[in-house]
Structure 1
Amino acid sequence: MSYGDAIALYSRMAGDPGTYTGAGMAGMNYPVPWGLLPAVYALSGDDYPKPFSKTKARKPDEAEIREASGLMSPMFRSLMNK
């Protein structure tokens, strides 16, 4: 698989809240397609957790970004520094 295919696949997964990757990117507890969100909220009671988490996403600090960029391919590292 080429880098372009992998990036395209990840982009599609990250934009789809019906996948675990997309749900995590949207700040959701579990995957739910956008079209089903009203039904989940209407039919779920207090016992069933709502899809959106109450906690805010934490931004990585500079040390974490530097550590993660050190693990990247040199091609992607050069794109981050622009």
Structure 2
Amino acid sequence: MATITLASEERDDPWTVEPPLEGQLPKQRAGTIDRRPIYFRHTDTPDGHVIKQYPDGSRQLVRFVGLEEQVVKHFL
């Protein structure tokens, strides 16, 4: 795997950029729909909470207590 080293000026410490992961990710089977939700945060999301969004666009505000996911609020 090749990496690219970048430095904006001579005095800067170089940092590396990894190549895209597309070739390393598992391929989705033809005719299937990915139904897994994604988790993300906005800058105004309360501490300890995340937004869970389903592929149909519905969202929930959730928090994790240990390994348990608790729904705090449903969005339409």
TM-score bracket for the superposition, by shorter chain length: under 0.3
State which structure, 1 or 2, has the greater radius of gyration over its C-alpha atoms.
2
Question: How high is the TM-score relative to the length of structure 2?
Answer: 0.23
Question: How high is the TM-score relative to the length of structure 1?
Answer: 0.22
The structure with more helix, counted as a fraction of residues: 1
